């Protein structure tokens, strides 16, 4: 029997549709594709808690899953809108269910706030394209989530918000100069979440699509002098995604094998499945 996962998308319907129009898939769909590449027999269901009236699993329903993944989102958690509050409540139900969970970017932020932490706008500004020089902490070097990562690495990323106050039962696993919490393990009510502030699930093509859709923002925030420059950067990312052997592009973009190699780029997700989900499924008699 294949593993069964719930992919919880953090975006509103409008944001999902915009992403699908430019990339071809909603973020939850592309996340599911990554999970199914890692575990070809896995079944992935999608949930959209930002939508009013969405059919969301309760604690009993959550226990039918072997793992839960939480995607990124264009929302800001401190706005405390109904779209945000529904996601925090679902996250608390995930904790209470005891089902292993993994969060990317927004997913980590929701996990932190649901467990008593605080998320705010980053005073250092936006981390865009790639989180550079992520360094595991002492705990991170021993933690299964970061098994196989080097002493410092880069990863796809795009976020303006980050955790400023960790929840009570939180182990910080990695940091960089932009965010003190780039990876963490958070526990609440017997449940546990592994999460990262970056996006190991993003291919170069997907991060290029996201940047291309935000050309005006890049200019406004000083990342590019003109929209044409932002578009050229996005085009280089997409070209390198199509042909990872382009050493000229990898050199110009400052990207090494930790990003280029899909196995190494998705290391945290693979480790979560192998070292957290599968042992828990075996203990429950599901694998």
Q: For 64-120, what is each residue's pLDDT tens digit? A: 999 999 999 999 999 999 999 999 999 999 999 999 999 999 999 999 999 999 999
- Check whether residue 149 and residue 236 sit in a common domain: no
The pLDDT score that the predictor gives to residue 153 is 98
The pLDDT score that the predictor gives to residue 168 is 97
- Check whether residue 173 and residue 210 sit in a common domain: no
Percent of the chain with pLDDT over 70: 99
Annotated active-site residue 105? The verdict is yes
Annotated active-site residue 162? The verdict is no
The pLDDT score that the predictor gives to residue 57 is 83
CA 22 to chain centre: 19
Backbone φ and ψ for 78, nearest 5 degrees, come out as -75, -5
Q: Domain containing 217: what range?
A: 204-257
- Check whether residue 179 and residue 60 sit in a common domain: yes
* Residue among 9, 39, 201, 258 flagged as catalytic: 201
- Check whether residue 149 and residue 119 sit in a common domain: yes
Intra-chain end-to-end CA distance of the chain, in Å: 7
- For Cα atoms 68, 203, 183, give the angle at the middle one, nearest 5 degrees: 50
- Check whether residue 123 and residue 49 sit in a common domain: yes
Q: What is the mean pLDDT of residues 10-27?
A: 96
How many independent structural domains does the chain possess? 2
- Check whether residue 146 and residue 173 sit in a common domain: yes
- Check whether residue 233 and residue 117 sit in a common domain: no
- Check whether residue 215 and residue 174 sit in a common domain: no
Decide if pLDDT at 14 tops 70.
Answer: yes
- Check whether residue 277 and residue 244 sit in a common domain: no
Domain at 143, CATH number = 3.40.50.880
Count the Cβ atoms, other than its own, within 10 Å of residue 204.
27
- Check whether residue 90 and residue 157 sit in a common domain: yes
| C-beta of residue 94 within 8 angstroms of C-beta of residue 62 | yes
d(CA 208, CA 240): 10
* Residue among 9, 44, 105, 170 flagged as catalytic: 105
The pLDDT score that the predictor gives to residue 285 is 66
- Check whether residue 129 and residue 236 sit in a common domain: no
* Residue among 199, 206, 258, 268 flagged as catalytic: 199
| C-beta of residue 260 within 8 angstroms of C-beta of residue 250 | yes
Backbone φ and ψ for 34, nearest 5 degrees, come out as -65, -45
Task: Of 125, 128, 132, give the one whose Cα is nearest residue 176.
Answer: 132
| C-beta of residue 11 within 8 angstroms of C-beta of residue 75 | yes
235: enclosing H helix or E strand: helix 227-242
The pLDDT score that the predictor gives to residue 1 is 65
Annotated active-site residue 52? The verdict is no
Q: What is the mean pLDDT of residues 186-196?
A: 97
Which residues have C-beta within 8 Å of that of residue 121, sequence separation ≥ 6? Answer: 76, 78, 160, 161
| C-beta of residue 169 within 8 angstroms of C-beta of residue 186 | yes
- Check whether residue 211 and residue 188 sit in a common domain: no
Percent of the chain with pLDDT over 90: 94
The pLDDT score that the predictor gives to residue 222 is 96
pLDDT band at residue 54 using 50, 70 and 90 as cut-offs: confident
């Amino acid at each position: 029997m294949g593993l069964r996962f719930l992919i919880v998308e953090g975006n509103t319907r409008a944001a999902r549709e915009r992403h699908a129009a430019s990339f071809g898939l909603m973020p939850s769909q592309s996340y599911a594709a990554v999970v199914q590449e890692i575990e070809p027999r896995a079944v992935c269901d999608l949930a959209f808690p930002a939508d009013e009236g969405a059919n969301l699993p309760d604690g009993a329903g959550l226990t039918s899953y072997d793992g839960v993944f939480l995607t990124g989102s264009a929302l800001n958690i401190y706005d405390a809108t109904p779209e945000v509050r529904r996601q925090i409540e679902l996250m608390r139900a995930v904790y209470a269910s005891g089902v292993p969970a993994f969060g990317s970017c927004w997913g980590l932020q929701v996990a932190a706030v649901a467990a008593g932490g605080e998320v705010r706008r980053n005073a250092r500004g936006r981390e865009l394209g790639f989180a550079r020089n992520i360094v595991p902490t002492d705990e991170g070097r021993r933690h299964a989530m970061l098994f196989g990562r080097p002493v410092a690495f880069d990863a796809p990323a795009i976020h303006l918000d980050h955790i400023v106050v960790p929840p009570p039962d939180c182990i910080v696993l990695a940091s960089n100069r932009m965010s003190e919490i780039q990876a963490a393990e958070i526990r609440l009510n017997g449940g546990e979440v592994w999460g990262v502030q970056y996006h190991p699930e993003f291919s170069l093509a997907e991060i290029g699509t996201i940047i291309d859709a935000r050309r005006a923002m890049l200019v406004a925030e000083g990342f590019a002098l003109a929209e044409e420059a932002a578009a050229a950067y996005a085009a280089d990312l997409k070209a390198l995604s199509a042909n990872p052997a382009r050493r000229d592009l990898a050199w110009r973009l400052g990207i090494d094998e930790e990003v280029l190699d899909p196995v190494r780029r998705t290391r945290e997700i693979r480790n979560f499945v192998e070292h957290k989900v599968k042992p828990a499924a075996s203990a429950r008699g599901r694998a």
